[in-house]
Structure formats: C-alpha cells, structure tokens
Amino acid sequence: MSFTRDVALIGAGYWGKNLARSFNALGALHTICDLDPRTLAGYSDGYERVLKTSDVESPFKNAEIKKIAIVAPAALHYQLAKTALSHGKDVLVEKPLCLNETEGEELVDLGSKTGQVLMVGHLLQYHPHIQKLQSLVGSGELGRLYYITSNRLNLGKIRQEENALWSFAPHDISVILSLVANQLPDGIQCSGQAYLSHGVADMTLTTLRFSGGVRAHVYVNWLNPFKEQKLAVVGSNGMAVFDDGKPWGEKLVLYRQHLTWTDGRTPTPSKAAGEAIQVPESEPLRNECVHFLECCNDRRPPRTDASEGLRVLRVLAAAQRSMSKDGAVERVSCPEPAQSYYAHPTAVIDEGAVIGKGTKIWHFSHVMKGAELGEECNLGQNVVISPRVKLGRNVKVQNNVSIYTGVTCEDDVFLGPSCVLTNISNPRSEVRRQHLYEKTVIKKGATIGANATIVCGVTLGRYCFIAAGAVITKDVPDYAMMVGVPARQKGWMSRHGHRLMPSSDGNLVCPESGLRYHEEGPDRLVCLALPEDAPLTTHPGLDV
C-alpha cells in the first residue's frame, strides 16, 4: 500500500506524535508544524525527509500539500479547519470537530461546497473490536437494544482549556450514536464537578435517552485512581462488553442467552461464561489514517465525516447546557433550514400547499391547497395530491397516481405507477359524500405495487409489501406480503424488501442484510436489531 507524500500535520505534541508516526510509516507525511521548537527538534531519526516548521501558515500555502491533519487544542479546530478547506485541502481534525455548533455547521457547509474531505478523528470507530460490536448489534445478535454504558476513567491528562466531557466523551458518544443507527437523543442530562480548576469539570455523568426506550450512560473522569475504558451493550438476547484495557483476544466478550424465562414470565439471570470474540489484530490509529488517505484518493465520504462529527458536537453541546443548569433535561438543537423544493414548469402548486425541502414535483402534476408534503419526496408525472393529504418524508409517488383527501402516508412510502387510492366505499356521481371521506393510513416504509387498489378505510402496516395488481380490502399487518384479488397474506417481507426465510434459531432472516425478525403472533412481526424509525442507510454493519 503506497500513498503520496502530501500530508501536513499541525500540532505534533502529546497526541500529534502518534499521527506523525502513523502517517510517516505510511509514507504520506510531508510536513510537521508545531509552535514549540523543542517538539520539532524531537523529530530526527526516521523523519529526515519530513519538513519541520513553526510557521502555521506555510502548510496552507504549499501546493505540494493536499491534506492537513489538525491535532491542535480544540479551541483552534474551527479556524484551522476553515482555513485548510478554504485553501482546497482535505482535512482530518481531531475530536471534537470544534466547540461551537454554529461553527460546526459552517465547516460542514464549507466542506460540502468545496468538495473537500472533512473527517473527524473519532478513533474508536476504527477499532476492529468496535466495528465487530457494531456488526453484532446491526445483525440482531443481541436482540432488541436495552441500554449502553460507557466508562472512560484515568488519572490525567488533566486539561484547563476543555473539561472532561469535551476531552474524554466524544469517542464514546460517537460509538453510542452509531449503535442506535445514528439517532439523536430525545433528551440529555449531564452532571459534573470541578475540583482542580474553577469551571473545568474533572468528572461528568451524562444520560442519553433515545426513542424506543434505549438509554445510554457516559461516565468520564480524569481524577480517578485507575484507568478504565469499558463499553457495555445490553439487549434482549445478549450482552457485549468492550474493555480496551484487556489483551487483544479478550477485549470483546459476548454473553449469549443471559436470561432464561421460567413459565415464560419470570426472568432468571444466566451465569454462563462469556465468549471472547476474535477479530484480526490491527492498530486503530493506523486504520484511521489509512481510511483518511483512501477517502481522499477515492473522493468518498469517510466513516466519521463532518456530519457525524456535527451530531457528536450537538450532543456534547446539549450535555454542557444541561450541566450548566444542574442536570436539567436538554434537547439537541437542530435548526431547520429554509424550505426549498423543485417543481417542473408544467406542475401546478396551489397557494397554501406545504412542501418540504428537497422535494421534486415533475411534469403535469398538481398539488392542491392544504396538502402537506414532507422533505425529499418525489412526485412523478401526472400526479394529483388533494387537499388535506399528508405525505411524510421521502415518499416516492410514481406516474399517474391520484392521492385523495383522507389518505395519510408516513415516511419512506413507495406508491407504484397507476396504483389506486380511494376515499368513498360506495361512490355515486349524483350523491355528494364529501363529508363522509374515509381515512386510509399507509405506515412507514410500506410499498404498493403498480396498479394495486387500496379500498379506503384501511391501515397498511409498516414495511408491508402490496404486490402489483393486488386489491386490499382490510387492514394489513406490519411487514406482511399481500398478493391477489382480494389480497391474502403470503408471508413476511423484510425492511429491505425481501421475503423472509426461517433460520435455525426459529427467527426469520433477511437474505440481503442478515437482519433477523421474530414472529410474535400470526399478525405481529418485529425486527430484533433496529428501532422502528432507524434509517437503514446509516446503520452500521449493513451493506445496503
């Protein structure tokens, strides 16, 4: 594996020396920049070809340097990253992305506009054991997630420019968000205490509350008599513990079947020994540096890109606000951008229609007054959306579909070409029944095939699959596959749109993703790995 020698490192001291070693070993290190001459003087053997400078401006102006790694104090991250992006450099910035949400948003936007790679050094995401843990959760090995706990304790390094929350917690928050499919918490509480420096907390305890009942706790402390870096994940079918203080072969331990049920009602703990999960050994920091170089060369987003860094930053900022209010519950702030959408010149958009950002409306379609369309929807040709119809986010409506008053579509619904949605069971031209419109609800992720007919007054469950030409006359369960006239259930479909097949453990398995599903009754199927609203495209461990 060979790389171009075009990386400049800004900040080569306590942690920077490790990135210097990694980039130099990969043959990619061009320049080391540090304000301390003694630090620069320490780079001699093995660094003969590497330029050393205390001029912070020189890496930005040097045309030979295409990539910049920033390991300066967190308060300098924003300005250094902004300058690098403005000079057309790809950037790896150590955690956190910066210390201010507004500045973080600006960096995300700037990276998007310039087309440069902007990656955040959330090191744990490149640890093979953490990646295996993400895969275990993603495949449903642990069942439904219950809670996650993280301890990061040590005696030092004690800082005065940032507290323990901002210094220690970003890595763990990054991993926790990845394990819950990058959901942001509904509520955050944080308490902490400063003992050594006024206003700089030496220890903090943060509680994250996610939709679906998942909870996470992050305890960080740099005033602790022993070192501990441990993450525990507890689910309905198993528990996993990552302990970075253990030898490589013992770092990740899986506890299967940790509970047994007496009479199907009484849980009894199982004391069985855990199973050490073996993964090939590799250095996380080297993995991170290689990933950065490859993403720059291939022009693709990194695993911990600027958007991921901004999510972590929002959680940190909310936790800081909570700590300043003695542990009051805070929410993540996500300001909504101004709405913008595309409509073809032949489309008709009535005044009073509400249309979300990123939605596209194509030839000869008509959106009437009072209709509400969510973000990122796509309406094909000759589509009609009637008053009081509500479409969620990312609803795809194919050509020649009319959606009448009384219909509600949740997020991620697909309506195939020329499918029929009604709102009166017994229509007569000469009898006015507008006040009797019946409600039809199409829940999240449902698919309706071409030319299918949905008789009004029914509810189509989440991720159900209605075959082309089928006629639906009654409610449809979640994940059900419906075929025929009138339609009958012919099995179950996964969130990825595949017929589910039985596995050896009695559950059902999606052949594409490996996700497992459990049949809780003739009309109820649940996914064991993902919360109901978790987006598939950002879930770790899935190739979708």
Report all structural domains of the chain as residue ranges with CATH numbers, in order of start. 7-120+286-299 (3.40.50.720), 125-282+313-324 (3.30.360.10), 342-538 (2.160.10.10)
Looking at residue 512, its pLDDT comes to 83
The residue ranges of the chain whose pLDDT is under 70 are 260-265, 335-339, 433-435, 530-544
CA distance 180 to 214: 8
With pLDDT > 70 as the criterion, what percentage of the chain qualifies? Answer: 94
Looking at residue 535, its pLDDT comes to 61
Tokens representing 39 are 């630090």
Looking at residue 516, its pLDDT comes to 86
367 touches 350 (CB < 8 A): yes
Looking at residue 530, its pLDDT comes to 67
| 361-385 residues labelled b (16+ CB within 10 A) or e (exposed) | bbeebbbbebbbbbbbbbbbbbbbb
Cα-only R_g, the chain? 27
Residue 319's H or E segment, with its range, is helix 306-324
Looking at residue 488, its pLDDT comes to 95
How many beta carbons lie within 10 A of that of residue 539, not counting itself? Answer: 23
- For residue 407, what are the β-bridge partners? 440
Looking at residue 544, its pLDDT comes to 33
Helices 306-324, 101-114: axis angle to 10 degrees equals 170
